[in-house]
Structure 1
Amino acid sequence: MERLSGLDAFFLYMETEAVHMHVALTAVLDPSGMPGGYSPGKIQTRIAERIHLVPIFTKKLVVPPLQIHHPYWVDDQNFRIVNHVRHVTLPKPGGPHELGRLTGDIASAPLDRRRPLWELFVIDGLYDGNIALVAKVHHSCLDGVAGVDTIMNFFDLERDAPATEPPDTEPEPRPTEREVVADAIRQRLHEFRNFVPLARKTARNVAAVRRSRKVEHEAPGGTPLAAPQALFNGSLTPSRNVAYSQVSLDEVKKVKGAFGCTVNDIVLAICAGALRRYLLAKDELPERPLLATCPTSVRGDDEHDEHNNKLSGFYTSLCTDIEDTTERVRAIQTVTDAAKREHEMVGGSLLSEWADVADPTLFNAGMWLYARSKLADHHRPIHNLMISSIPGPTFPIYMAGAEMVRAYPMGPVLEGSGLNITVMSYVDHIDFGFMVCDDLLPDVWVLAAQIPSAFEEVKEAADGLTPFAD
């Protein structure tokens, strides 16, 4: 029996009829090198052989009586791989738009909490002969960095890696209700004792940020509830759609060197340029700059084998009000540096500490009330969108002999904000995954199509600069 941390459980409590708190990945594989040829069963067999390496994938939730504390993970006594790995043939013509629509349909349905919280769809029928794997995993199980670590358990470094024999183990017996209640009460009392010290720590840290913002020579980071209204902000519906794009990692690194910034700064600049182009074409660009929430990992080097959430986040301006590309990139670099500095002042662990002491019943009820009342339509957005950046493998990986050629990650959209852009580097490119509320942003492929043009603008701006030394 393993109790979810407050942060893991936080993603369960945020879920409503329209907010689905799962993360997703569309991995495109070249099956031409699979020994004996491709078949969906070979993928399912490989997953079954390795499932023991990811214990969270064979556990399900147990909620304590009256929700007196966060849920627990217990072994699913009736776990069957066929309930989680499915085969689908993509509708013709089998292009990226059809794959995105199917992925959006998959993302539009919540995961069944009576079973382990993941699904994998093996998809063939792609126009170019490739296959796709669409994975859907609840955010309570893992964050982006843990997701990459999880992928590596099912993939190999060589095309012809030998099959593995899973161990013959019996699931652990389910704990009694008395054991669950006793453990929950004990943990709850311990956490309540931390409430006053945590409140004092929070007040001190927030005061430090406020003092730093009064220093004239220091630029501030982004501020929640200071975002302008954008066309993709509002109350969500359950419907999702997905789009993809890609840029060269090597070229991003060259641009980064010219500007003397980070890869993440350039990713934000590309997204800002794409959003600016998209909104200008619709005559919908707000006068104030768009505000993005950027999740950031606080996972230690010794925590990469854990399947949980170790993350925090900061708010940053995308400076979409600045027309000149060079000035916009410089401004994004400045405000993002400030946001990271303020994030360190607040403390990367503060979110998880408050999640531990939050009351599950009140928080979940509050989220449902907020969503059903459509309050997001009646106040300034907390943020306009989320942008996440995840470092992926720098080398090719293989699933049952099929080489992964592209990997588009996707995070959830949150109430009030119908757009999430998640990017992941893989070998020599960076893949962009767009997850949207279809009713708020029905032409997501038009937005995704702006990524290459926005990157060209950033590259042109970098051409006239003297490269910084690494």
Structure 2
Amino acid sequence: MDASFVALEQRNAPMHIGSILIYDPSTAPGGFVRFKDILAFFESRMHLSQTMRQRLVKVPLNLDYPYWIEDPDFDLEYHVRHVALPKPGDWRQLCIQAARIFSRPLDLTRPPWEICVVEGLDNIEGVPKGSFAMITKMHHAAIDGMSGIDLMDALHTLRPDDPAPPASQAWRPDRVPDPLGLFLKGYVRAWLNPWRQTGVIAKAAPGLYRAAKGLVTNEFSLNTAIAAPRTRFNVPVSPNRVVEGRTFSLADIKALRALSPGCKINDVFLAIIGGGLHRYLTAHGQLPESSLTAMAPISVRAEKEKNTMGNQVSAMIVPLGSHIADPVERLAYVHEQTVRSKAMTDAIGARQMTEMSKVSPALFMALGAQLYTRLGLANYVKPPFSTVVTNVPGPPVPIYSTGAKMISMHGLLCLTDGLALGHVVQSYVDQATIAFTACRKAMPDPEFYSECLQASFADLMGALAAGASPPAEKAAPRRKRKSKASVAA
């Protein structure tokens, strides 16, 4: 799965994810933070992350997956940059700067991450003057959402003056592998891959049987996985990005669960996004009759895999209820559909779905990803889903970097052909954020979509304040019993 993100890397579709993090330096010693303080703080904590000093080494002809090595030429100052916003320094300016930074691909001959420190945030509502931001970028091959949180832990402390724990041993760089040795090793692994595939298929068989049984008994349906309508977001992407986001009270998000019995916090977020898309596409005269769907990543990272690199995720596809105008009905619909989608994912086994991806031949995967982009197949292939909504829980308590208190966080996503809009839902202390990354060509008006998300949230809050009742459950259609004669026939 990590290698698939390397294979998908294109100039118009860099495969990195990241965040916009905002800090209040008044909690730091002296009440301010200098750029050199940030460099020194990061330097003291490099040993807490396995990711920060490792780079990719590709196998000749893509005969095998790339390998990670400890970079012998690691240079911290290359990865941490410094800019300032011109006056007035508002939220929209920060988003524009983040979009420009995020549009540029990472250098994959170095450890695949960058952090840009941004000063001049003097006109953002709720942000103290003198605050600064960090715009982070890290290649998706190195982290998923949960390992990204582990990386956040490495670069933050629970108190402003916490010292870095000492390293258990001195860091030692690796020697760059010989290309011929990598080729021979990849050649051997290519011959062994069929045996690995057989083992994975054997482990997956019980899950596939449970999935087939669930389809026969109508416990869940494949319709949600194959019914995504084509929209303006299911096209080849341009190299340019837009980013935006909204912040909500986490207590309000939790309260909205009362509008649908058994509803989860994630269902509320999905319904807000569905309502935002309903408003946005209606305004553009492009609202499909059927619901847009979202691919929702699911972490399968075990406790023992914390702080490890790479991706341990599976996914389920859920409808967003974008075709439903009423907010309460939309939330009930989303909840019902997520229960069905989760049942199917549980039947197959999320972990087994991830394991199956690990035996894809590296060469064919790389060629397939490149052909998909170069032939423009996103214009012709039916989209498997309309957008991505990934939910990443953040710290429930305040955290600090270089002594400065983090006051907000918004996630950023990579896009690829056929997927021109992605959302990141995050929680931090008492707030929740919905941030989105979009292709600038597919969404030239990100502020308007941000307003649509805010209005969708307001619709739900208005329904809650008005005491709206959950919609009555529809009775399931009764299956007709076959007569003995028809059975015999």
Q: Same fold (TM over 0.5)?
A: yes
1:288 corresponds to which residue?
290
Give the direction of change, closer, same or farther, for the CA distance of 1:282–1:306 in structure 2 (3 Å limit). same
2:37 corresponds to which residue?
42
SS of the equivalent of 2:108 reads: coil
2:21 corresponds to which residue?
27
SS of the equivalent of 2:304 reads: helix
1:64 corresponds to which residue?
59
1:18 corresponds to which residue?
12
- Offset, 1:303: 1.7
Instruction: Specify which of 77, 97, 102 is matched with residue 72 of structure 2.
Output: 77
Aligned ranges 1:246-285 → 2 under 5 Å? 246-259=247-260, 260-285=262-287
Give the direction of change, closer, same or farther, for the CA distance of 1:367–1:177 in structure 2 (3 Å limit). closer
2:346 corresponds to which residue?
344
Greater Rg, structure 1 or structure 2?
2
1:142 corresponds to which residue?
143
Amino acid at match of 2:73: N
Conservation of the 8 A alpha-carbon contact between 2:294 and 2:388: yes
- Answering whether residue 387 of structure 2 is matched by residue 385 of structure 1, we say yes
Aligned ranges 1:125-204 → 2 under 5 Å? 125-128=120-123, 129=129, 130-162=131-163, 168-177=170-179, 179-181=181-183, 183-199=185-201
Q: 2: distance between equivalents of 1:122 and 1:290? A: 36
Conservation of the 8 A alpha-carbon contact between 1:221 and 1:317: no
- Offset, 1:254: 1.6
Q: 2: distance between equivalents of 1:372 and 1:175? A: 31
Give the direction of change, closer, same or farther, for the CA distance of 1:257–1:179 in structure 2 (3 Å limit). farther
- Offset, 1:185: 4.4
Q: 2: distance between equivalents of 1:452 and 1:8? A: 34
Conservation of the 8 A alpha-carbon contact between 1:11 and 1:21: yes
Aligned ranges 1:293-304 → 2 under 5 Å? 293-304=295-306
Instruction: Specify which of 357, 360, 363 is matched with residue 359 of structure 2.
Output: 357
1:115-140 deviation per Cα after TM superposition (whole angstroms, max 9, x unaligned): 00000000001124221001100011
Conservation of the 8 A alpha-carbon contact between 1:241 and 1:437: yes
Amino acid at match of 1:98: Q
SS of the equivalent of 1:77 reads: coil
2:483 corresponds to which residue?
none
1:445 corresponds to which residue?
447
1:447-469 deviation per Cα after TM superposition (whole angstroms, max 9, x unaligned): 112222211222233342689xx
1:138-171 deviation per Cα after TM superposition (whole angstroms, max 9, x unaligned): 0111100110111011111111223666664331
1:64-87 deviation per Cα after TM superposition (whole angstroms, max 9, x unaligned): 233221111111111110110000
Give the direction of change, closer, same or farther, for the CA distance of 1:15–1:361 in structure 2 (3 Å limit). same
Aligned ranges 1:319-334 → 2 under 5 Å? 319-334=321-336
Q: 1: distance between equivalents of 2:370 and 2:174? A: 34
Q: TM-score, normalised by structure 2?
A: 0.88
Give the direction of change, closer, same or farther, for the CA distance of 1:54–1:348 in structure 2 (3 Å limit). same
Conservation of the 8 A alpha-carbon contact between 1:221 and 1:335: no
- Offset, 1:398: 0.6
User: What is the count of residue pairs matched by the alignment?
Assistant: 460
**Bigger CA drift: 372-381 or 406-415?**
372-381
Q: 1: distance between equivalents of 2:165 and 2:210? A: 53
Q: 1: distance between equivalents of 2:199 and 2:71? A: 38
- Offset, 1:184: 3.5
Q: 2: distance between equivalents of 1:18 and 1:206? A: 36
1:346-382 deviation per Cα after TM superposition (whole angstroms, max 9, x unaligned): 2213443333222222222222221122121123322
- Offset, 1:245: 0.7
Q: 2: distance between equivalents of 1:131 and 1:116? A: 24
Amino acid at match of 2:108: R
Q: 2: distance between equivalents of 1:209 and 1:428? A: 38
1:415-463 deviation per Cα after TM superposition (whole angstroms, max 9, x unaligned): 2120000011000011122111111111112111222221122223334
Conservation of the 8 A alpha-carbon contact between 2:247 and 2:432: yes
Conservation of the 8 A alpha-carbon contact between 2:275 and 2:321: no
Amino acid at match of 1:12: V
Give the direction of change, closer, same or farther, for the CA distance of 1:41–1:422 in structure 2 (3 Å limit). same
Q: 2: distance between equivalents of 1:367 and 1:181? A: 21
**Bigger CA drift: 444-453 or 307-316?**
444-453
SS of the equivalent of 2:416 reads: coil
Instruction: Specify which of 437, 447, 459 is matched with residue 435 of structure 1.
Output: 437
- Offset, 1:172: 3.0
- Offset, 1:219: 4.7
Q: 2: distance between equivalents of 1:378 and 1:182? A: 38
Q: Report the aligned-residue RMSD.
A: 2.2
1:365-409 deviation per Cα after TM superposition (whole angstroms, max 9, x unaligned): 222221122121123322110000011100000111111000001
SS of the equivalent of 1:18 reads: coil
Q: 1: distance between equivalents of 2:111 and 2:274? A: 37
Q: 2: distance between equivalents of 1:79 and 1:222? A: 49
Amino acid at match of 2:96: R
1:370 corresponds to which residue?
372
**Bigger CA drift: 398-407 or 369-378?**
369-378
Give the direction of change, closer, same or farther, for the CA distance of 1:12–1:66 in structure 2 (3 Å limit). same
**Bigger CA drift: 50-59 or 164-173?**
164-173
SS of the equivalent of 2:121 reads: coil
Q: Where does the alignment leave 5 or more consecutive residues of structure 1 unmatched?
A: 1-6
Q: 2: distance between equivalents of 1:22 and 1:446? A: 25
**Bigger CA drift: 189-198 or 245-254?**
189-198
Q: 2: distance between equivalents of 1:422 and 1:169? A: 34
SS of the equivalent of 2:423 reads: strand
- Offset, 1:98: 1.1
SS of the equivalent of 1:101 reads: helix
SS of the equivalent of 1:442 reads: coil
- Answering whether residue 124 of structure 2 is matched by residue 123 of structure 1, we say no
Conservation of the 8 A alpha-carbon contact between 2:23 and 2:133: yes
- Offset, 1:187: 4.1
- Answering whether residue 451 of structure 2 is matched by residue 456 of structure 1, we say no
